[in-house]
Amino acid sequence: MSRTLTVHEAGLAVADPTAYADEERLHAALTLLRKESPVHRVEAPGYNPFWAITKHSDIMEIERDNKLFLSAPRTLLGTAEMDALQEEQRKIGMELRTLVHMDDPQHRLVRAIGADWFRPKAMRAMQARVDELARQYVDRMAELGGECDFVQQVAVHYPLYVILSLLGLPESDFPRMLKLTQELFGGQDEELRRGESAQEQLATLFDFFDYFNALTVARRENPTDDLASAIANAVVDGQPLSDIDTASYYVIVATAGHDTTSATIAGGLEALLSHPDQLQRLKDDPSLLPLATDEMIRWVTPVKEFMRTASADTEIRGVPIAKGESVLLSYPSANRDEEVFEDPFRFDVGRDPNKHLAFGFGVHYCLGAALARMEIQALYRELLPRLTSVELAGTPEWTASTFVGGLKHLPIRYTMS
Ligand code: HEM
């Protein structure tokens, strides 16, 4: 007999990586928090305390007020051990400092370096390459002969190749980047992570830095027409970016643009498989694809959280938050908020409006949102008309991660034309 979940247990689930590998358990916890304790203090063993924010409107309000709620110093949920290690790195100027870690005025200046590469004009220039890669991966799926692990054999490769093409990296380096991003984001998952300790996981980060430092040197010597050159040769306040800031920029682009999109593509297919009426509806009416794409993004919500730290005493929904305390923005919860979405647990390829927060909100709003949408649409535009039948060929498995996650295995059986 199942026992009733307590609010205390629901709070602990927010910090428990394994809860994210079990969507039902996670959403039972988040639904309870939204109802009973939407601003909830979590004191989980091994973690510094934080406030879990689970309502859509509260998350928007916190993100809007980027003077009161800062991204530094606690950008993401990590163990107390990780927090301490980061503090050490900060002291010696060796911490990973990407856009998501920065606050204004620096954030605005650094965001501007890459912004042009994600604007509509640049996206239009990318469309042909993205379509070509989508076709290649759908062809590869056909060649696999009717059975595959859709995550490992299709979904993880395609977005990485798009983003590495945009950066301008050589194709021979793509497999290495794939492994490093999986190790970085699979840090809490036993199957994917490189090692047990925070130290071993940091080794992954240093491998990234080594690779990208060499890239910076090469692009400064011989500038080319790609995003990597724009980053390597950027000037802020009359100075080039420091080595660590340059490498951090590549890391955010290479990693943020990868697992998030592949998780959405894979989770989107899983949603279509478990809602065959919606699969048929989309096949019958491909003009729904843009709406279906955003519904997949809402449904999967691959980024599970970011954090902010209060720069002054304040309150949220009447709950006092002291200066220096941190709030965790639960995007999966916002995207199932019954006050915003009609029937939020229904997967609806025609959902309109769909004001999901999967890309965040405010000054840190996802830089790659248009690219992600373009990639997802390109793949399904190619795949759906060719897929004559598709079904599960095993049990789907999700990543255990409190940060970026989604399916890690999706075994399917299919026929294609
Ligand atoms: C479905 C796919 C994606 C999702 C769900 C997603 C989600 C997010 C979220 C939640 C944030 C933080 C927003 C905030 O704090 O308000 C973010 C930031 C960011 N994303 Fe994405 N993302 C996706 C794809 C991409 C792609 C393809 C790129 C391409 C490079 C990308 C690049 C970035 C960058 C650079 C930032 C930092 C922006 C800043 O702090 O100013 N993302 N993304």
Let me know how long the chain is: 417
Name the percent of the chain lying above pLDDT 70: 96
Ligand 1 centroid from CA 218, angstroms? 27
Cβ-based neighbours of 179, under 8 Å, separated by 6 or more? none
Ligand 1 centroid from CA 234, angstroms? 21
What is the predicted pLDDT for the residue at 185?
Answer: 65
Q: Which of 299, 182, 387, 16 is nearest to 8 (CA)?
A: 16
- Across the chain, mean pLDDT equals 92
Closest-CA residue, ligand 1 atom 41, reads 364
pLDDT band at 196 (very low <50, low <70, confident <90, very high): low
Ligand 1 centroid from CA 341, angstroms? 22
End-to-end CA distance of the chain: 47
> Three-state SS across the chain?
CCCCCCHHHHHHHHCCHHHHHCHHHHHHHHHHHHHHCCEEEECCCCCCCEEEECCHHHHHHHHHCCCCEECCCCCCCCCHHHHHHHHHHHHCCCCCCCHHHCCCCHHHHHHHHHHHHHCHHHHHHHHHHHHHHHHHHHHHHHHCCCEEEHHHHHHCHHHHHHHHHHHCCCHHHHHHHHHHHHHHHCCCCCCCCCCCCHHHHHHHHHHHHHHHHHHHHHHHHCCCCCHHHHHHCCEECCEECCHHHHHHHHHHHHHHCCHHHHHHHHHHHHHHHHCHHHHHHHHHCHHHHHHHHHHHHHHHCCECEEEEEECCCEEECCEEECCCCEEEEEHHHHCCCCCCCCCCCCCCCCCCCCCCCCCCCHHHCCCCHHHHHHHHHHHHHHHHHHEEEEEECCCCEECCCCCECCEEECEEEEEEC
| Mutation pick for ligand 1 pocket among 366, 375, 401, 407 (CB with most ligand atoms within 8 Å) | 366
Q: Locate the ligand 1 atom nearest the alpha carbon of residue 114 and give its number.
A: 35
Question: What gap in Å lies between CA 228 and CA 234, rounded to an integer?
Answer: 10
Q: Which of 120, 135, 112 is nearest to 370 (CA)?
A: 120
What is the predicted pLDDT for the residue at 274?
Answer: 96
| Mutation pick for ligand 1 pocket among 70, 77, 119, 359 (CB with most ligand atoms within 8 Å) | 359
Ligand 1 centroid from CA 75, angstroms? 14
Q: Locate the ligand 1 atom nearest the alpha carbon of residue 301 and give its number.
A: 5
Instruction: State both tokens at 151.
Output: 């995550």
**Angle at CA 371, nearest 5°, toward 390 and 204?**
85
Closest-CA residue, ligand 1 atom 1, reads 261
Closest-CA residue, ligand 1 atom 16, reads 360
Q: Which of 21, 32, 59, 4 is nearest to 365 (CA)?
A: 59
Q: What is the mean pLDDT of residues 185-192?
A: 65
Closest-CA residue, ligand 1 atom 39, reads 364
Cβ-based neighbours of 229, under 8 Å, separated by 6 or more? 168, 219, 223
Instruction: State both tokens at 78.
Output: 């990590």
Ligand 1 centroid from CA 92, angstroms? 28
Parallel/antiparallel/unpaired status of strands 50-53 and 326-330: parallel
Ligand 1 centroid from CA 97, angstroms? 15
What is the predicted pLDDT for the residue at 307?
Answer: 98
Instruction: State both tokens at 311.
Output: 């720069």
Ligand 1 centroid from CA 364, angstroms? 8
pLDDT tens track for 295-322: 999 999 999 999 999 999 999 999 999 9
**Angle at CA 362, nearest 5°, toward 85 and 314?**
70
With tokens 């007999």, the residue in question is 1
What is the predicted pLDDT for the residue at 1?
Answer: 41
pLDDT tens track for 264-286: 999 999 999 999 999 999 999 99
Question: What gap in Å lies between CA 108 and CA 192, rounded to an integer?
Answer: 34
Q: Locate the ligand 1 atom nearest the alpha carbon of residue 166 and give its number.
A: 30
Q: How many CB atoms lie within 10 A of CB 192?
A: 17
Instruction: State both tokens at 87.
Output: 């503090």
Please answer whether residues 234 and 220 qualify as being in contact, where contact means their C-beta atoms are separated by less than 8 angstroms.
Answer: no
Closest-CA residue, ligand 1 atom 9, reads 359
pTM comes to 0.94
Ligand 1 centroid from CA 368, angstroms? 6
Q: Locate the ligand 1 atom nearest the alpha carbon of residue 363 and give its number.
A: 41
Ligand 1 centroid from CA 142, angstroms? 31
Using CB distances shorter than 6 Å, the residues near ligand 1 are: 63, 99-100, 111, 163, 252-253, 256-257, 260-261, 264, 297, 302-303, 306, 358-362, 364-368, 371-372
Q: Which of 25-34, 153-162, 375-384 has the lowest mean pLDDT?
A: 153-162
Ligand 1 centroid from CA 175, angstroms? 22
pLDDT tens track for 231-271: 999 988 888 888 888 888 888 888 888 889 999 999 999 99
pLDDT band at 96 (very low <50, low <70, confident <90, very high): confident
What is the predicted pLDDT for the residue at 237?
Answer: 85
